[in-house]
Amino acid sequence: MKTLEGRIALITGIANENSIAYGVARALKARGAELVVTYVNDRTLDFIKPLLPELDPALVLKCDVSDDASLDATFTAITDKFGKLDIALHSIAFAQKDDLHGRVVDTSREGFMQAMDISCHSFVRIAHRAEPLMKDGGTLITMSYYGAEKVVPNYGVMGPVKAALESTARYLANELGPKKIRVHAVSPGPVQTRAASGIREFGLLIENSIQHAPLRELIDIDDVGEATAFLCEDGAKRITGSVFYVDGGINIVS
């Protein structure tokens, strides 16, 4: 069903065919949304080019969320093309390997600030620019992880950063709610993505999820896409500020 027909959706964070953002983009497209797909650099563009025919985006834009001018250019292009925005997906995270694998107590100021800027505050910057374009309401989605709530081995500085991201989503939901703009953090279970490959011993997280999640199976990017698309539909118009787990139930297990 074309439940999102006529909606304009900004997609950030597609790196290749294994990206969670790609699963979300497919689900939104299947429901009739018009896509704006971004890429961070020419190397990333080479990886996502094979995916573009399926997604058939109205715009493909270079966008570096750490660069205000780049973000401004992206939103100017959306404004010029559509004059509105209904959905924005923030599926971006980064930390230096030493800060990801090391102890939080040893994190450098620069490393902490960089991880927080790219992984958390960039969501604020996107929300700030999306707000005036969401004249009839809209949905802002960011991607989190269970390491925001509990200590996950080898997740390092990204745990505190994701905790900040989830809190940010709640505050944005409260502030933007009067304008009918809903905000969610979606928290997938372990998925074998390019970003996950940077987490040491990630295979153990995969194994633990299979063995201990109530559903005893892994999720995939399409599971995350379907759940995220639901949050963007009118059937979810009374839901906001949530951390929405798509993890086979592993988050409820001690």
Give the Å distances, CA to CA, from 151 to 156, 236, 237, 244.
Answer: 9, 30, 32, 19
- Among 25, 6, 13, 16, CA closest to 229: 25
Type of residue found at 11:
I
Catalytic residue flag (residue 171): no
Catalytic residue flag (residue 155): yes
Of the candidates 39, 145, 146, 245, the residue annotated as catalytic is 145
Of the candidates 22, 39, 146, 155, the residue annotated as catalytic is 155
Strands (DSSP E) found in the chain? 8-11, 34-39, 59-62, 87-90, 138-143, 181-188, 243-246
Look at residue 10 and give its three-state secondary structure. Answer: strand
Question: Angle at Cα 220 formed by Cα 216 and Cα 222, nearest 5°?
Answer: 130
Catalytic positions are: 145, 155
